[in-house]
Structure 1
Amino acid sequence: MATRPIFLPAPVGQVGVIEKMLEFKWVPGMAVIQKQKSIRELHKTAAAYGISPVLEISSKSEDQLGQRLSAFNLTFTTKKHKTTYTVESAFQGSKVFQSAGPFIDLMEATPREAKRDIRLKESGNLIGFEFLGKRFPSEPKTFFYDWLYINALHQNSELADQICHFSGFTDIEFNPKKSINCQGYAAALYLSLKINDKLTRALESPSEFLRLTHEQYKNQLRATPVQNKMF
C-alpha cells in the first residue's frame, strides 16, 4: 500500500487547492507499465470517494493529455525574444543558490539534463529564483513553480480548455514527504483561478498572482507562511 495526494480545485468562491491523501495498492517496479498500474489503483480509490474523472499529469500518464501537461513536455514562448522553453528546464535554469546561479544555460537543455545538472546540488541552499530578469522569493515554496506552470498552461489554450473536464489531478511520482513542487497541484490551482474568474488578474504580474493566492499558500502543508511583501 502507498499514500499519494489528489489535487482538487477549491469550491467556487475560494481560490485554492484541496489536497486529499489517498491510500491505494502500490504496484512495485520502475517500468512505465508498472507505474501505470499504480495510477489505475490510485484513480480507482479516488472514484470510490466520488472523485471522478481524474487526470494523471506526468510522463507516465496513460492519457496523452496528461503526458502533454507534464512539466517535461509543456512549453511556453517568451513574448520579447520569442524563445520556447519547457517548464522544467525554465524552472531549473531560474534557481538561485547561496553561492551561484541562476544557471541560465539549463533553460536550453533538455528537461532531464537540466534536472540532473550537478551544479544544482553543489551550490548551497536555494535562496530564490530569477527568471528573465525578474526575481522571485523562495517562499511560499511552490509560488514560482506554480506561476511558471500556470503561465505556460494559459499559453496552451487547447490543453487548458481540456482540464476543465476533470474533477482532480494526480502525479504518481510526487511524494509530499520528499518533494515540494507538483504539476498536478499547479493544474488544480489554474482551474481554481479560472472558475473563480481570477485567472486574467492573476497573470497580470507575479505580485498580483501572489496576492490572489496567498491564503492558499498559508494553508499549504509543505509551504512556509507567506511573507507580507513579495521581495
Structure 2
Amino acid sequence: MSKTNQIIKVMILLIVLFIIAISPIWITKLNNERLFNKYNIKKISKESLKIEHESIFDYNTLERIQTIVKAQTEKTGVITRQEIDIKNERISNLIDIIKEQILTVQKMNGLPEFDIDEDYTTIYLYKATFMDSVNPNTSTSVWEITISYPEFGISVTIDTETSVIYQISIYSTEDKLPFDTSKISPIAFLEYLEIDSKEVAFKQNEDNTKGFYYVNINNLNVKYTFIKRPNYFMIAFY
C-alpha cells in the first residue's frame, strides 16, 4: 500500500511539474491569438488627440494604405484601436483639418459639395494603428471619426500624421442626401491620394453608381470601391 501511495505521489508531482513547465508556452500562445488580427480596444484621454504636421515619412500614401489592408487581411497583421474619450469636449483642431482636406477633394471633384460648419455632433472617435508583426517598424495610424449634422452624417478615416483622408462615407436618414453626387469622379479622389490615373484599372456599372478601382504600382496593390445612392455615398479601400 505504501508503494502505491509513493507511486501516486510521484505521478502527482510529475503532473504539477508538467503544468508549471507548459504554462508560459500556453499563455504566450493565448496572447498571440488575441493579438494577431484582433482589435485591442482601450480608452485614451483627449490629450492624445493631436495632429502632427511636420513628420518625415519613409513611405508614401499608397504604401501607408497597403499597410492598413495587410494588417486587416494577413495573419501577421496587428490592429490596435483606441477609443478617444471626448465626451463633450470640442475637437475643433481635428475637424478643421478634415474640413481643409474635404475642401481640397471637393475642388478636384472627388467629393460632393457640402459644408462642414459648427453645427455638428461627434458620434465616435477612435485612433487605430495598423502594422505587420514581422516588420513592426512599418505602421500606419489613423483617426476614425463619425460626425453627425442635422441633415446628414459623415464617417472619415484620416491619417494621424499626413492628414490625408483615406476613405469617407456620407449618409442620410432621409430618402436622399441634401446635395448632388451624380457628377462625382472617384478617379479624382485617387488623384487626391497622388495616385496617377494612368495606373488605375477600373470597372463600374452602367449608371455609374458602383465601381471598383485597382491600383498596382511597383508591386503595391490597393483596391478602392465606390457606391453612389440617393441617400448614401462611399469611397473606400478594401
The bucket for the TM-score relative to the shorter chain is under 0.3
Instruction: Give the helix-richer structure, 1 or 2.
Output: 1
Structure 1 or 2, whichever has the larger Rg, is: 2
Instruction: Give the strand-richer structure, 1 or 2.
Output: 2
With CA pairs under 8 Å and 6+ residues apart, which has the higher RCO, 1 or 2?
1
- TM-score of the superposition, structure 2-length normalised? 0.25
